[in-house]
Chain A
Amino acid sequence: MADIWTYLQPWWLVIVWTAIVSWVYKDNRIFRIATVAMVAGGSANGILVNLDSYWNKGLLPIINGSKLLMIVPVIISIMLVAVFFSRYSWLAKIPTLTMMGISMGVMLSSVIGAQILGQIDSTMTVISKGAGDAFGIINALLIVTGVVGSVLYFTYSKEQKGIYGMFTKYGRYFLLASLGPTWAGELSYHMDFLIQYIQNIVAALRLFIPI
């Protein structure tokens, strides 16, 4: 069985990948069949993986008495089922808001340290670090003015015109400078899949042709 799969698997991969990639030529039924299978697999896995987790962390401690307190989150989570009944759908807001509240609390408690004070500190200390040479000073000034300009770009309480508009435009250039590498990174990320696809095809062909 394992030997047969060694020969079948490369072709299986080529067929499955080509079913999706065929879209780049033309939208077609095989592509739609493949995407529906993908959605079905994803949702099935979502349920199965969490079933284990929910049982072990939530239900088992209640059943064996080790942590009866878990009945509270179990009841809160069951309220989500109310989303299927329009008359009781308001109940589903309780677990949603519970999750939001805890998540926001967890995030907010350190967002000032990490994303505001930490970033301002790093921006200011770059001036002293860059004071060694002219290039360092220019870089430091670029960073400081770029940060200020970028932050100002996101303030919408004042119309961005005149000298203020020029400064926000300057900040926009720095934001674009960060978008360029992000685009390049995305392309590089997706290129990995194209490379894998070509390698799959070559591997399948190599079973029969010495290339």
Chain B
Amino acid sequence: MLLVLLEYILPPGPLTTVKTELTLWLTLIGSFTFFIAGTTLVLKYSRDLIRTKKLSSVHFYAIEFLIVFFSYVGVSFLTGGPSGKTYTSLYTNLQGQLTQAGWVIMAFLEPWAAYKAFQLRSVEALILAITGFTYLLFSAPSISAAFPIIGTFANWIINVPSLAGTRGATIALAVGTILLALRMLTARERGLTD
């Protein structure tokens, strides 16, 4: 951390090369963490199956996980890697669709949450409801084309009260981040090291 910070303060020089190299190392180590994540899941489901004496419906999901996992790996290795047409087609038509479908559930739940929660019981709820309601109507370009006042009001919300709130949160977050980094540098933040 200190090396990178020093590099920023000093004029470009040898430390710039060091910083560039360190960031490259981070992308490599970051890549490896995905292996660990995938391996953890495979090991977990494999252990569930190996250690069981009698298969039950719970183990069905472990078998399914391993079949799907190794199917993707097999297709990738046999057909030109993850950038190949076959793997891309399989991934797009299965994984891509499953992940997108998950968001449809939110499209059912969020309006219901608004219907329940945007009740004007207090000043805070009133502000949340008015700003949310206005921006919701603004998010459909046709509504603000038909009623320009909605666009004007939404722009005012984004450029004045919302901007003030966001700026305040941004500054507070940045100060908090600096404090956390200082605590880590002075070994007072023990969360990860212990």
Interface size class of A (residues with CB under 8 A): 35 or more
Contact among B35, B64, B73, B129 with A50 in the assembled complex (CB-CB below 8 Å): B35
Q: Is A72 an interface residue (CB 8 A)?
A: yes
Question: What 1/0 mask marks residues of chain A from 89 to 124 whose CB sits below 8 Å from any chain B CB?
Answer: 000010111111111111111111011100110110
Q: How many Å lie between the Cα of A48 and that of B123 in the bound state?
A: 51
- Per the 8 Å Cβ criterion, residues 42-59 of B in contact with A are 42-43
Contact among B41, B158, B175 with A43 in the assembled complex (CB-CB below 8 Å): B41
Given A40-B68, A154-B172, A180-B128: A193 touches B104 (CB 8 Å cut-off): yes
A93 contact set on B, CB distance < 8 A: 192-193
- Per the 8 Å Cβ criterion, residues 162-211 of A in contact with B are 171-181, 183-194, 196-197
Query: Is B128 a contact of A111 with CB atoms below 8 Å?
Result: no
Q: How many Å lie between the Cα of A177 and that of B160 in the bound state?
A: 9
A188 contact set on B, CB distance < 8 A: 136, 139-140
Interface of A is mostly: helix
Interface of B is mostly: helix
Query: Is A38 a contact of B106 with CB atoms below 8 Å?
Result: no
A39 contact set on B, CB distance < 8 A: 41, 65
Q: Is A52 an interface residue (CB 8 A)?
A: yes
Query: Is A97 a contact of B192 with CB atoms below 8 Å?
Result: yes
Question: What 1/0 mask marks residues of chain B from 95 to 106 whose CB sits below 8 Å from any chain A CB?
Answer: 101111111111
Contact among B64, B109, B167, B172 with A37 in the assembled complex (CB-CB below 8 Å): B64
B97 contact set on A, CB distance < 8 A: 13, 16-17
Question: What 1/0 mask marks residues of chain A from 117 to 143 whose CB sits below 8 Å from any chain B CB?
Answer: 001101100000000000000010011
